[in-house]
Structure 1
Amino acid sequence: MAWVQSVERREGKGRLQPSQVVAFVKVFDAEDSTPVVQIDTLGSEERKNPGKQSQTLQFGKESAKQLFDILKQTYNF
């Protein structure tokens, strides 16, 4: 599990990952009533334990805005 402090665009090449997973999004309030967006993924069918929670990322307002800005710029939202 990771709390994402910031999101920065990095130039470079990448490659499409061969496995596909479904992401689940939860929205809840932290103890101080700050909204948190949490994205969970489950292990792919190729993993030893398919369907087991694999990764969790949590975003606060600032990091979510940074991600939103990158998505907006990339996909012309």
Structure 2
Amino acid sequence: MAKVRDFFEDKKRSDSHPTVVDCGYQVVHTSEGVFLQLSTYGSDQRQTQKKTSQTLQFDRDHAEQLLRVIMSTFPGLQGTAMGERP
């Protein structure tokens, strides 16, 4: 598990990953404040089903940074309601 400290654009070449996983989310209330927690779970080929593989936590400031990254990557999302596709 890790709290996200910083965002930066990674310029290395990358391709789409062949493995597909599920991602759960939680709102975590701590003495430090509220965090959005995203956890990925093992692929269908993993021996232990639904075991957490990686967990990331975002405080409000870092969630806002992530939102800006998402909006710049997918500008068509702006103005759409949850669940709708542009």
TM-score, normalised to structure 1, is: 0.86
Question: What is the match of residue 5 of structure 1?
Answer: 5
* Structure 1 residue matching 2:62: 3-state secondary structure: helix
Larger Rg: 2
Give ranges in structure 2 of 5+ residues lacking alignment. 79-86
**AA aligned opposite 1:62:** D
Q: CA deviation at 1:12?
A: 3.2
**AA aligned opposite 1:7:** F
Per-residue CA shift, 1:21-68, capped at 9, x if unaligned? Answer: 111110122114x11000011100122323211110001112111111
> Aligned equivalents of 1:57 and 1:71: distance in 2?
16
Q: Does 1:67 align with 2:72?
A: no
Give ranges in structure 1 of 5+ residues lacking alignment. none
TM-score, normalised to structure 2, is: 0.78
The answer (yes or no) to whether the contact 1:8–1:66 under 8 Å persists in 2 is no
The answer (yes or no) to whether the contact 1:24–1:40 under 8 Å persists in 2 is yes
Number of residue pairs matched by the alignment: 76
Question: What is the match of residue 24 of structure 1?
Answer: 24
Q: Structure with the greater relative contact order (CA < 8 A, sep ≥ 6): 1 or 2?
A: 1
> Aligned equivalents of 2:17 and 2:49: distance in 1?
16
* Structure 2 residue matching 1:66: 3-state secondary structure: helix
User: What's the C-alpha RMSD, in Å, of the aligned pairs?
Assistant: 1.3
